[in-house]
Amino acid sequence: MSKQQQRGKQETASEDRSTEWVGERVNSYDGSRFVSGHGRYVDDIQRPDMLHAYFVRSQFSHAKVLDVDTSEAEAQPGVELVWTHDDIADQVNEPFGYMLNDEEVLASDRVTYAGQEIAVVVADDRDTAQDAADLVDVEYERLDTVTTVEEALEDDAPLVHPDLDADPENDTDGNVAWTGQVEVGNYEDPLADADVVVEETFDTNKTTPAPMEPHGCIADYNPATGKVELVSSTQMPHLLSVELSEVLTEFEQRDITCKLPDVGGGFGIKLDPYPFEICSVLLSKATQRPVKHVLDRLEEFTAGRGRAPETLEGKIGVTEDGDIVGLDVDLLQNTGAAAAYGVAVAYSSANCGQGPYLIPNQHWRTKVVYTNEMPTTAVRGFGDPQVTFMREQLIEMAAEEIGMDAVELRLQNSPRQEDMPMRSDAGHIWRNADQITCLEKTREMINWDEHRGGSKTRDGKLRGVGMGTIMKRGGNKSASGGDFDEAVVKMNRHGDVTVLTAIASIGQGTETGINQMVADTLGVPIDRVDAVRGDTDATPEGLGVWADRGTIIGGSAAARAAEELADTLKAVAGHMLEVDPDDLRLEGGRAFVADDPETGMELDELANVAMLGNPETLGTEAERPEELRGGISLVGRGKYQSQEVEFVDPETGRGNVAHSYTFGALAIVVDVDPGTGEIDVVDVAICEDVGNVINPTLVEGQVQGAIIQGLGEALYEEYVYDRNGNLMNGSMIDYHLPTAADVPLVTKIEELENPDPTTSHGQKGVGECPLVPTPAALANAVYDATGIRFTELPLAPHYVLPALDEAGLREI
């Protein structure tokens, strides 16, 4: 690998902390279990006497449900229950939803997308449930369908939620679920100072991140306690219990214990409270038996939710000298039949839509629009990939228009590290980030000057280079009401450490980074640290993993908890060694005097002495310092609550939406085949300022994975619906995910390590960032190669070849 590390990092940690593990290529905490086949996902878990649920899903995208006949299904041997909406209506608060109340658990009298849950069958085994579900007879009356925002916004459009539109208490207006705006500077005429205005309309695609493990859960209700244990493949165990308690009338948060199994990928779509989770709880309560439901792959495609497609009508204004003076954007989001996280996707993408630039005048107008398609929700990047696809293309168009190199234009309009901390035009608090070096390094690694302007390869391909940039939120207070996590770090008498955290592991490795930070704080070997994650009975409160917040917020909380424990250990050691605890250092499994390493003791001995707390070793309580009296607790507690993060102002759309921001740039070289329209990604380079790298291997994995995911969405993936709202390609055969053979091994990865002064180890967000600029950089590269501006995703051959044909570039 050609990876280079910028190692001259500033220390943000207290000076006496070990640096043995942070920054090292520690193996993933779960890695050996996963690669040796000892993972334990929801569907691996069996409980005695467990029932299996299977859903009857709507065949139509929009219809009245006239009748649901369950009699034949109920008569099947092995079938325990068949439920329709009437059976649960008095046990749920409906409509429900994460941000807008627009969902039913089971459809009552109307269905609004093909795949929506209408009834649920519970049987002794899954096959029986599935066969019985086929026997449930649903009588429909078809209604007119809307599948595009254009149709949905017409005056006489069929309404997806007529009841919400009619409700004077509800903001829904026609098919518009939510309207927002961002107003910056002279927002009424944001392009007033421009010499040149470039405008274009862009359309992004609806996609699924297709986690290897589908959604699934086991609900296990205990009639004696009235509590339910829910093992669910989720990204947010604690928030899930909060969300579910709001829907389930007979359950408080304390009645719902959420426990994480191993989770085989989340990418955002495992954040919402889903109908299958709600039904499983109620079914377990009704049958007094555990109930499992795991979505199959076809259900994932039709009801597992995905990325919201957006139409972005953008104008950018620049001066002849290359100053970006204004941005004016209309953003329409096709949110599907329910908004889920769509509102947050919309406001945060508009709020962050300026990217890593100084743009003094901006006006964004945002609408979230209902259609009769599968609901969309959070997906890695959370709206940033969509707006970046627009913004970075507008920037390269503007650069061409004024005859300036596109990287130079970016450099000229980027914030300077020396001006930070600073407020961005849209209200973000930017701290210690070096975007200039990110741009320059990326330009150098990709050989920008050599490729730029397009060329023809020896085998007749059209080659070009393009760029995209990153300014990605880490956290999102308006979506979660605050940004905090708690952690507990405890030690046993042998000096083994356990971290208890609400941070979920969804394969990304956040727990490994947290363990490294804790290991350094306590000076213990990494293999003495274990993690307990996401068990609401055991782990302290927190918000889960999304928006790149895990290592920033959860990691800082765990480091604080470890510091509290470290202080206790030092106090004990200081007492035992008769030295000032402040002179002690914890490292390599020992506590010792920093200036006199010979004077010290092993941590396992120290732990044993502290845990037993006997006067024979520690002296009487009267002889001890005050903090060692009344029992010595080897439990450290920590909480990290961002004080910087703000709610987005509802009037102006401005505000510091997240705790921290990660900057960066990515460039792509493509070869376009003029015979087939196929795009070969021949080179990728990325430089990000991720703060101090906790684990280079895991960072590289996230970078590579995010870029590949972005390439998949940019090159191949799309939900294709027919006019009736039926998904035409809802299977792994027909929905084309990239394979290893389709994409390059990304090795030009450079991480700048300018630490965030507010986090425990200077860390910033990483996991979502590299996806954000990928579709934009790809489209810019294809333009450089062909002179054709592709404004719609994906850039699949069946869209590229016709455009090449029209431009006279097609060859055979």
Partner 1 sequence: MLIPVAPQWETDVQGLKYANPETVEEACTLLRDHGEDAAILSGGQSLLPMLRQRVGSYDKVIDINGLPDLEYVRETDGEIRIGCLSRHVDVASSSVVEEHCPILADVAAEIGDVQVRNRGTFCGAVAHADPSGDPPVVATLLDATIVARNADEKRTLSGSSFYHGFYETDLSKDELVTEVRFPVLSAGEGAGFEKYEPTEGAYPVATVGAYLSLADDGRIENATLVTGALEAGPTPMDDAAEVLEDREPTDDVLTEAAEQLGEDTMPVDDFEGSAAFKTNISKKLAKDALQTALDRAENER
Distances in whole angstroms, Cα of residue 353 to Cα of each of 294, 312, 390, 454, 753: 37, 11, 9, 28, 24
Rounded CA gap, 714 and 706, in Å?
12
Nearer to partner 1, 133 or 231 (CB): 133
Percent helix, strand, coil in the chain (nearest 5)? Answer: 30, 25, 45
Q: Using an 8 Å Cβ cutoff, are 506 and 545 in contact?
A: yes
Shortest distance, position 73 Cβ to partner 1, whole Å: 16
Shortest distance, position 678 Cβ to partner 1, whole Å: 8
Rounded CA gap, 701 and 710, in Å?
14
Q: Give the 3-state secondary structure of 413-430.
A: CCCCHHHCCEECCCCCEE
Nearer to partner 1, 240 or 793 (CB): 793
Rounded CA gap, 428 and 657, in Å?
7
Concatenate the DSSP letters of all residues of 471-515 into one string: EEEE--HHHHSS-EEEEEEEE-TTS-EEEEESPPPSSS-HHHHHH
Nearer to partner 1, 128 or 505 (CB): 128
Nearer to partner 1, 515 or 704 (CB): 704
Residues in contact with partner 1 by CB under 8 A are 127, 298, 675-678, 716, 720, 728-729, 733-734, 736-739, 741-742, 796-798, 801-802, 805, 810-812
Nearer to partner 1, 669 or 711 (CB): 711
Nearer to partner 1, 322 or 677 (CB): 677
Rounded CA gap, 369 and 175, in Å?
6
Concatenate the DSSP letters of all residues of 510-543 into one string: HHHHHHHHHHHHHT--GGGEEEEE-BTTTSPPB-
Residue 570 has phi, psi (to 5 degrees) of -70, -35
* Dihedral, 775, 776, 782, 783 alpha carbons, nearest 10: 160
Q: Using an 8 Å Cβ cutoff, are 737 and 210 in contact?
A: yes
Letter for the amino acid at 186?
N
Q: SS3 of 776, please?
A: helix
- From the list 32, 35, 134, the residue with the least C-alpha distance to 76 is 134
Nearer to partner 1, 251 or 301 (CB): 301
Q: SS3 of 410, please?
A: helix
Nearer to partner 1, 481 or 802 (CB): 802
Shortest distance, position 375 Cβ to partner 1, whole Å: 21
Rounded CA gap, 610 and 632, in Å?
6
Shortest distance, position 148 Cβ to partner 1, whole Å: 16
Nearer to partner 1, 320 or 734 (CB): 734
Shortest distance, position 801 Cβ to partner 1, whole Å: 6
Nearer to partner 1, 366 or 709 (CB): 709
Nearer to partner 1, 733 or 745 (CB): 733
Shortest distance, position 788 Cβ to partner 1, whole Å: 15
Write the DSSP symbol of residue 255: G
Concatenate the DSSP letters of all residues of 727-747 into one string: BS--STTTS----TTTS----
Nearer to partner 1, 128 or 760 (CB): 128
Shortest distance, position 299 Cβ to partner 1, whole Å: 12
Shortest distance, position 740 Cβ to partner 1, whole Å: 8
Shortest distance, position 131 Cβ to partner 1, whole Å: 9
Name the pairing type of β-strands 4-5 and 484-491.
Answer: unpaired
Shortest distance, position 711 Cβ to partner 1, whole Å: 11
Nearer to partner 1, 7 or 798 (CB): 798
Shortest distance, position 707 Cβ to partner 1, whole Å: 16
Nearer to partner 1, 622 or 741 (CB): 741
Nearer to partner 1, 154 or 805 (CB): 805
Residue 292 corresponds to which tokens in the numbers above? 């499992």
Rounded CA gap, 64 and 145, in Å?
12
* E strand spans, 89-225: 110-111, 117-123, 137-142, 176-184, 196-203, 216-222
Nearer to partner 1, 148 or 760 (CB): 148
Q: Where are the alpha helices (H) located in 227-315, listed in sequence order?
A: 237-247, 275-287, 297-303
Q: SS3 of 92, please?
A: strand
Shortest distance, position 723 Cβ to partner 1, whole Å: 13
N-term to C-term CA, the chain? 37
Shortest distance, position 98 Cβ to partner 1, whole Å: 30
Name the pairing type of β-strands 422-423 and 361-370.
Answer: unpaired
Rounded CA gap, 141 and 62, in Å?
9
Q: Give the 3-state secondary structure of 642-687.
A: CCCCCCCCCCCCCCCCCCEEEEEEEEEEEEECCCCCCEEEEEEEEE
Shortest distance, position 305 Cβ to partner 1, whole Å: 20
Shortest distance, position 342 Cβ to partner 1, whole Å: 24
Write the DSSP symbol of residue 578: T
Shortest distance, position 123 Cβ to partner 1, whole Å: 15
Who contacts 778 (Cβ-Cβ below 8 Å, separation ≥6)? 466, 668, 670, 679, 681, 711, 714, 715, 795
Write the DSSP symbol of residue 154: S
Q: Using an 8 Å Cβ cutoff, are 594 and 580 in contact?
A: no
Nearer to partner 1, 126 or 365 (CB): 126
Nearer to partner 1, 637 or 810 (CB): 810
Shortest distance, position 675 Cβ to partner 1, whole Å: 4
Shortest distance, position 811 Cβ to partner 1, whole Å: 8
Residue 465 has phi, psi (to 5 degrees) of -130, 145
- Tracing tokens 């006199």 back to the chain, one arrives at 596
